[in-house]
Amino acid sequence: MKDPKNKFSINLPLKGIVQAITDLPDPVFAEKMMGDGVAIDPIDNVLYAPFAGQITQIHNSHHAVTLRQGDVELLMHIGLDTVALKGRGFELHVAEGDQVEQGQPLITFDADTIARECVSVQSAVVITSGQEITTVTPLGSVQTDLNQIVFTVPSSNDPQGTSAPAQETATEPTGPAITGSIKIPNATGLHARPAARLAVEVRKADAKVTFTVNGKTCSGSSVTGIMSLKTKLGDTLEIEAVGPDAQQVVADVIAAVKAGLGEEITSFSEAPQQEVEEEAPLLQVKSGEEGVLIGFTASPGRAIGKLVKHNKALPEVTRESIGAAEERAAFKASVKSSIADLQSIIDRLTKNGQEELAEVFNAHIELLSDPELSEKPLADIAKGQGAAWSWKLAYEAQAETLAKMDDPLLAGRAADVRDIGLRVLKKLLGVDDGGEILEEGTILLQEDITPSEIVALDLTKIVGLCTTHGGSSSHAAIIARSNDLPYLVNVEDAMKDLADGTVLLLDAKRGKIKVAPTDAEQAAFTKKIENAAKQAEEYQRDAHKPAITKDGFQVEIAANIGSVEDAEKAVAAGAEAVGLLRSEFLYMERLNEPTEEEQAEKVGAILEVMGKERPVIIRTLDVGGDKPLPYLPMPQEENPFLGVRGVRIGIERPSILRRQVRAILSQAHKGHARIMYPMISALDELRAVNALVREEQKNLGVEHVEVGIMIEVPSAALMADKLAQEVDFFSIGTNDLTQYVMAIDRGHPGLAARADALHPAVLRMIELTVRAAEDAGKWVGVCGGLASQIEAVPILIGLGVKELSVSVPALPEVKHTVRTVSMEESRKLAQAALDCADTSDVKDLLKSHQ
């Protein structure tokens, strides 16, 4: 690449007409604020590497890429104002950090979209390392040969191409550091153009300026450095300047950013943020009883225990160091103690036969023991930064790099890096989250809990769970129910003020917590627990008898399960079927997608446990929303519950669905398998996945397998008459149906109490579905949490629901309840409930009925 005159050659990166950069209709490029270069009006839609080097930066919107070799850095910016496309129309072929060869494709772009929606397709090819260019290609000529040199720049590149950029060799100014900060008002952050204007502002001053955003730092005079901060609207730009003009440049930078750096901006008030006074909401849930806190039932049951608070809120991480040796020692000790904690989790899980879950924590130990992950923080600690700060920067950067990888396996590791990162960080900050030191009889309080955190809890020690956030139908709640762990969500904030060790009487069935009870209260509560246990024994005695109403109508009572062990427990508790196998729960803790054979093995084992006489509804993969799958990284979405979730994942990635469907079909002969699709919202989705199932059925030569859909989206309930024509059954998912009917996130911290499946609007949706199915000669089950709610049982059967699929511990009591009511009364009750005006009316109706 270097010619004999020590000039560095830049070949053609884009086929098209080479023009003067000064011709571009954008002053940032035309006035060379970013540096010298050329413009190219493309006649092709691929950007190629114009020399061999390293990709140092790719903008989030994928329209600009920076390539470096030694002291030469080149920015290639496709089109003008293309940042606004937010990645639409750009396909990346490389990633940051990649080494590329000259002529290698970097980005393919949709020139039509750019031409239609942006200022221009003309693209800028700019030296950002400060050198002036000597053009070789005649301006105005059409160039199509990728080996054509477009311009050259002076360079002191050594043969390995590892020298530092030219502009960074100046002597460093000294003096006190002046600091300031400003919120970024640019809609798409400091992308190329505003970054260039900002760097120009900085370069005018005799000062060394550093910018920091979200813990990332760069030189204020480097356009690409500023771009690499990957800022967003509203981020705070921290400015630090040293040198004779420090004071002035900080003021100038603040003024320039405030003015928008040449772009239309959002205005942020610079007045100190107004203190928002706490107010009592109009709809408030508080017990009002002395010494009693209330919450919302996520998993019923009672427990006596001592409070342990897991504090998730971390203190601010600052850069300050108390000395390199001390910080290094603290860092090493935290890593060591995290590894020890992980090892004891592994030992416990292995002892409980949860080897697969133990594998996840083994992988965490491996990651933590990798010297590469500690290299960067140790270097930063040596430079005088605090251990927590250095560690946080390093693991977040590592996680971010992994998350961007095209390889789903590596991308999935990002969550693991964050997980171990947080574990070590908490140690460094002295935040005690209980670790493995819990005592027996612990009632845990934390802000919220994820499905994978809850599966990792040591239930030999924890007798109850409370969260100040969370929803009663969250997936963590479902796991708590299947483990019979009393769990209240949305408990009053006052619980956070209680001291660790406070004795609590947790009545998760009634949504109450008695704080520091008297001996008499404790004795009475113990009696209640004993009575309930006796009653449960009675229900269990009849668990294997059918559930027939007093007037002779049989209702099928099925189980919701997520594992082979659940299937065994379900059979023991009298399940007549599996109404919902949450297939994703089989693989939630895995780091990689199970093979078709592995999936078949688990499904086959469950079918064998249930036997031919007990049908098993296997729901296809239902992740997204609050159920992430470590091996299936999903793009960040503004509203994940309204995004690629449920069946939409199978539609987007049919190979995953196909593998699962093949696994199910290959095992169908072992029992009575039915297939169900989650979150169907329209007929075309149903037809698309049904076609795939029928195709595989034919390929495998398997007999007809019944298929059904979950009704959990209002559009599906409203269109149930049409959908019923193409399925064998419906199963109503009241957890999601409530969330979508009431427009309340099922895990919402403050609104859970109002996301109640007993709301007449939800009941009316159920009625609509049952009527449509009956007209089409199909049956309807309910597998959402409402079916396990004892008081709701007569309403559901009165609405015409034929199957109730409930959590395993609830099976005997639900059967018992069916036997205590008549269909005639239940129908009347259901009609009265449909006529209610609000949830509270339905609840009053149920109370008067009991």
Nearer of residues 671 and 733 to Mg ion, judged by Cβ: 733
> Phi then psi for 642, rounded to 5 degrees?
-110, 15
Closest CA to 181 of 267, 268, 251, 269: 251
Q: What is the DSSP letter of 469?
A: S
Least separation in angstroms between CB 26 and ligand PEP: 49
Of residues 541-580, those binding ligand PEP (CB under 6 A): 580
In a 10 Å sphere around its CB, with 0-12 CB exposed, 13-18 middle and 19+ buried, how is residue 6 labelled? exposed
Q: Which of 783, 818, 829, 830 binds ligand PEP (CB under 6 A)?
A: 783
736 binds ligand PEP per the rule CB under 6 A: yes
305 binds Mg ion per the rule CB under 5 A: no
Least separation in angstroms between CB 734 and ligand PEP: 5
Q: What is the 3-state secondary structure (H, E, C) of 233-248?
A: CCCEEEEEEECCCHHH
733 binds ligand PEP per the rule CB under 6 A: yes
Nearer of residues 588 and 821 to Mg ion, judged by Cβ: 588
CA angle 16, 21, 25 (to 5 degrees): 95
The span of 67-75, 244-252, 579-587, 725-733 binding Mg ion (CB under 5 A) equals 725-733
Nearer of residues 184 and 716 to ligand PEP, judged by Cβ: 716
Cα Dmax for the chain = 100
Least separation in angstroms between CB 818 and Mg ion: 24
Q: Which of 305, 517, 733, 800 binds Mg ion (CB under 5 A)?
A: 733
Nearer of residues 74 and 711 to ligand PEP, judged by Cβ: 711
Secondary element (H or E) of residue 401: helix 387-403
Determine which one of 475, 672, 759, 816 is catalytic: 475
Nearer of residues 82 and 731 to ligand PEP, judged by Cβ: 731
Nearer of residues 252 and 736 to Mg ion, judged by Cβ: 736
Give the whole-angstrom CA distance, residue 31 versus residue 750. 53
Give the whole-angstrom CA distance, residue 710 versus residue 700. 25
Are 41 and 122 spatial neighbours (Cβ–Cβ below 8 Å)?
yes
* Residue 482 three-state SS: helix
* Residue 17 three-state SS: strand
* Residue 106 three-state SS: strand
The span of 140-148, 497-505, 731-739, 772-780 binding Mg ion (CB under 5 A) equals 731-739
Tokens, residue 299: 């998993």
Are 787 and 814 spatial neighbours (Cβ–Cβ below 8 Å)?
yes
Whether 669 is a known active-site residue: answer: no
736 binds Mg ion per the rule CB under 5 A: yes
Least separation in angstroms between CB 757 and ligand PEP: 8
Q: Which of 225, 243, 300, 784 binds ligand PEP (CB under 6 A)?
A: 784
696 binds ligand PEP per the rule CB under 6 A: no
Among Mg ion, ligand PEP, none, partner that 582 touches (CB below 5 to 8 angstroms by kind):
ligand PEP
614 binds ligand PEP per the rule CB under 6 A: no
Tokens, residue 823: 């269909």
421 binds ligand PEP per the rule CB under 6 A: no
Give the per-residue contact string, 3-42, with ligand PEP (x = CB under 6 A; - = no): ----------------------------------------
Give the per-residue contact string, 267-306, with ligand PEP (x = CB under 6 A; - = no): ----------------------------------------
Give the dihedral sign, CA 226/230/231/232. Answer: positive
Least separation in angstroms between CB 454 and Mg ion: 17
Nearer of residues 378 and 765 to ligand PEP, judged by Cβ: 765
Nearer of residues 588 and 607 to ligand PEP, judged by Cβ: 588
Nearer of residues 222 and 805 to ligand PEP, judged by Cβ: 805
Nearer of residues 166 and 606 to ligand PEP, judged by Cβ: 606
* Residue 113 three-state SS: helix
Q: Which of 712, 745, 756, 803 binds ligand PEP (CB under 6 A)?
A: 712
Over the range 73-93, which residues count as b (16 or more CB within 10 Å of their CB) and which as e? bbbbbbbbbbbebeeebbebb
Among ligand PEP, Mg ion, none, partner that 784 touches (CB below 5 to 8 angstroms by kind):
ligand PEP
Least separation in angstroms between CB 60 and ligand PEP: 31
The span of 41-49, 81-89, 460-468, 732-740 binding ligand PEP (CB under 6 A) equals 732-740
Give the whole-angstrom CA distance, residue 169 versus residue 156. 13
Of residues 478-497, those binding ligand PEP (CB under 6 A): 478
576 binds Mg ion per the rule CB under 5 A: no
Over the range 494-529, which residues count as b (16 or more CB within 10 Å of their CB) and which as e? ebeebeeebbbbbbbbebbbbbebeeeeeeebeeee
Q: What is the 3-state secondary structure (H, E, C) of 644-711?
A: CCCHHHHHHCHHHHHHHHHHHHHHHHHCEEEEEECCCCCHHHHHHHHHHHHHHHHHHCCCCCCEEEEE
Least separation in angstroms between CB 93 and ligand PEP: 37
Nearer of residues 585 and 631 to ligand PEP, judged by Cβ: 585
Q: How many residues bind Mg ion (CB under 5 A)?
A: 3
Q: Which of 208, 569, 582, 672 binds ligand PEP (CB under 6 A)?
A: 582
745 binds ligand PEP per the rule CB under 6 A: no
Give the whole-angstrom CA distance, residue 331 versus residue 829. 63
756 binds ligand PEP per the rule CB under 6 A: no
Give the per-residue contact string, 674-713, with Mg ion (x = CB under 5 A; - = no): --------------------------------------x-
Are 197 and 30 spatial neighbours (Cβ–Cβ below 8 Å)?
no
Residue position matching structure tokens 């793009």: 635
Nearer of residues 299 and 739 to Mg ion, judged by Cβ: 739
Gyration radius of the chain over CA positions: 31
81 binds ligand PEP per the rule CB under 6 A: no
In the sheet where 178-183 sits, what is the strand order? 178-183, 236-242, 208-213, 216-219
Tell me which amino acid residue 273 is: Q
Give the whole-angstrom CA distance, residue 519 versus residue 542. 35
Least separation in angstroms between CB 623 and ligand PEP: 10
The span of 51-59, 69-77, 217-225, 728-736 binding ligand PEP (CB under 6 A) equals 728-736
Are 770 and 793 spatial neighbours (Cβ–Cβ below 8 Å)?
no
The span of 15-23, 539-547, 553-561, 728-736 binding Mg ion (CB under 5 A) equals 728-736
Tokens, residue 174: 């000294």
How many other CB atoms are found less than 10 A from the CB of residue 255? 11
Q: How many residues bind ligand PEP (CB under 6 A)?
A: 11
735 binds ligand PEP per the rule CB under 6 A: yes
Whether 466 is a known active-site residue: answer: no
Tokens, residue 679: 């979150």
Q: Which of 71, 622, 685, 745 binds ligand PEP (CB under 6 A)?
A: 622
The span of 35-43, 413-421, 595-603, 730-738 binding ligand PEP (CB under 6 A) equals 730-738
Among ligand PEP, Mg ion, none, partner that 708 touches (CB below 5 to 8 angstroms by kind):
none
Over the range 390-401, which residues count as b (16 or more CB within 10 Å of their CB) and which as e? bbbbbbbebbeb
50 binds ligand PEP per the rule CB under 6 A: no
* Residue 259 three-state SS: coil
Site residues, Mg ion (CB under 5 A): 712, 733, 736
Residues annotated catalytic, as ranges: 475, 783
Site residues, ligand PEP (CB under 6 A): 478, 580, 582, 622, 712, 733-736, 783-784
